[in-house]
Amino acid sequence: MERSYDVVIVGGGVMGCSVAYWLAANPDFTGRIAIIERDPTYATATTALSVGSIRQQFSTPENVQMSLFGAEFLAGVGERLAVDGDRPSVSLVSGGYLFLATEAGRAVLEANHRIQRPLGAENVLLSAAELAERFPWLNTEGLAMGSLGLRHEGWLDPYGLLHAFRRKAMSLGAAYLKDRVVAMRREGGRIAAVTLAEGGEIACGMVIDAAGPQAGAVAALAGIELPVRPRKRFVFVVDCRTPIACNQLVIDPSGVYFRPEGRNYLCGLSPPEDQDPDCEDFTIDYSWFDDEVWPVLAHRVPAFAELKMLRAWAGLYEYNTFDQNAILGPHPEVANFHFINGFSGHGVQQSPAAGRAVSELVIYGGFRTLDLGRFSFARIAANAPIRELNVV
Ligand SMILES: Cc1cc2nc3c(=O)[nH]c(=O)nc-3n(C[C@H](O)[C@H](O)[C@H](O)COP(=O)(O)OP(=O)(O)OC[C@H]3O[C@@H](n4cnc5c(N)ncnc54)[C@H](O)[C@@H]3O)c2cc1C
């Protein structure tokens, strides 16, 4: 017997489960939803390997707005995603981002501040002297200023958020199928069905590509070229013998970042574009820490000269090679194929807003809350990138 769903979501990470939740929770939607996930253990899913932090300090207004909604959503997540009175926890910790800049970066930080503040992001610009006074553990040599988030920033358990969305969506009727989508049957300007690795087809009214770093590969099954590629990022967990009173996620002008995680610290650095190949493996290059990350940490925070490496992991960014921003909504020609892709390192915090946005497009054919029309696929065809300057 042919199986059929109104909406088939390919990928059950935080994005796929968020869309499923927003659809299932909306009384205006009465269709059948299937999430198809190839690996319910999420061993290599980006969500499970994320640093899970949230900030409002972006250069693109829509990113600020999406993350502000993310913060509001997370503050009430227990209530909103409770199932039979069981309230999920996503272990949300408050802690501001602290973007540091040299003189060369001053103009960007100031311009970002002018974008962020009117949208409701609460952050302050601090001079080098103010930084030194406020953060005595910081070496301010070479710094001109910093931008510190005062509210709505911090970090959470991304895996916990994924499961909370998933459990709630399933409690509202969404089906969750363990399988891999290996092909799509296209009939003219629409996808009629998806083919599963374990055999058989599922007929669909709409398909949502929520395959994270594999989103480009899934779009290719529909004959669509999507500029989203898997790009490897390392996260190092370190212990500092002399603890510092740091409750911030600090981004050095070099791009090296660190934040506390319990008694330890997480840190890392994205490679330059010309050293960032497409990559599907998870091998860790420890020399990246020794050669690129630690020297910067030890210079910026003298106490970090005595760091001890505890462990490390690698995860894959779902990297939008076109402009490092989200790609949301339908394909202009294959109108029942929707994207929720390309978040390039800021998807966990944007999953509530992105899932809501895509659900609105599916149900109403247009946005009802935040207008995220600039993130449509059309900008790629028009070669009109929206460059996000604050990609960590
Ligand atoms: C090291 C690192 C640090 C990060 N730090 C942050 C941060 O601080 N803040 C933040 O907001 N974001 C951060 N991110 C980004 C964030 O984690 C991602 O944007 C987000 O998790 C993407 O979710 P997703 O659901 O699209 O992808 P995923 O979680 O990868 O989910 C996609 C799912 O699709 C499944 N799938 C793929 N192909 C198929 C197929 N053919 N059939 C069926 N299923 C399929 C996969 O198994 C997977 O489970 C970070 C990412 C990394 C790697």
Q: How many whole angstroms from 110 Cα to the centroid of ligand 1?
A: 31
Residue 2: band (very low, low, confident or very high) from pLDDT cuts 50, 70, 90: low
What pLDDT digit, counting tens, does each position of 152-175 carry? 999 999 999 999 999 999 999 999
Ligand 1 atom nearest to 268, measured from its CA: 1
Nearest to 170 by CA among 31, 45, 20: 20
Q: Are residues 307 and 173 in the same domain?
A: no
Domain for residue 390, yes or no? Answer: no
d(CA 50, CA 73): 19
Ligand 1 atom nearest to 350, measured from its CA: 11
What pLDDT digit, counting tens, does each position of 262-273 carry? 999 999 999 999
49, 51, 165, 391, best to mutate for ligand 1 pocket (most atoms within 8 Å of CB) = 51
What pLDDT digit, counting tens, does each position of 95-148 carry? 999 999 999 999 999 999 999 999 999 999 999 999 999 999 999 999 999 999
Using the 3D structure, point to which of 300, 316, 332 is the last residue of a domain: 316
Domain for residue 386, yes or no? Answer: no
Q: Whose CA is nearest to atom 16 of ligand 1?
A: 347
**Identity of residue 270:** S
Nearest to 224 by CA among 330, 308, 153: 330
Residue 304 domain boundaries: 93-151+231-316
Q: Are residues 326 and 254 in the same domain?
A: no
Domain for residue 389, yes or no? Answer: no
Crossing angle of helices 158-171 and 347-364, in 10° steps, is 30
Domain for residue 387, yes or no? Answer: no
Is the predicted pLDDT of residue 366 greater than 90, yes or no?
yes
Q: Are residues 106 and 170 in the same domain?
A: no
Q: Are residues 308 and 168 in the same domain?
A: no
> Is 15 a pocket residue for ligand 1 (Cβ < 6 Å)?
yes
38, 46, 204, 256, best to mutate for ligand 1 pocket (most atoms within 8 Å of CB) = 46
Q: Are residues 296 and 349 in the same domain?
A: no
CATH code of the domain in which 109 resides: 3.30.9.10
CATH code of the domain in which 13 resides: 3.50.50.60
Q: Are residues 103 and 131 in the same domain?
A: yes
What pLDDT digit, counting tens, does each position of 3-26 carry? 999 999 999 999 999 999 999 999
What pLDDT digit, counting tens, does each position of 184-219 carry? 999 989 999 999 999 899 999 999 999 999 999 999
Q: Whose CA is nearest to atom 37 of ligand 1?
A: 211
Using the 3D structure, point to which of 281, 299, 316 is the last residue of a domain: 316
Domain for residue 268, yes or no? Answer: yes
Domain for residue 391, yes or no? Answer: no
Q: Which of 8-12, 142-146, 368-372, 388-392 has the lowest mean pLDDT?
A: 388-392
Q: Are residues 362 and 343 in the same domain?
A: yes
Exposure of 70 in the CB half-sphere (CA atoms within 13 A): 35
Helix intervals (H) in 186-281 = 215-221
d(CA 99, CA 255): 9
Ligand 1 atom nearest to 211, measured from its CA: 34
- CA distances 242 to 53, 246, 268, 354, Å, are 24, 12, 20, 40
Q: Are residues 203 and 255 in the same domain?
A: no
Q: Whose CA is nearest to atom 8 of ligand 1?
A: 53
Tally of domains within the chain: 2
Ligand 1 atom nearest to 155, measured from its CA: 8
> Is 315 a pocket residue for ligand 1 (Cβ < 6 Å)?
yes
Nearest to 290 by CA among 361, 363, 234, 346: 234
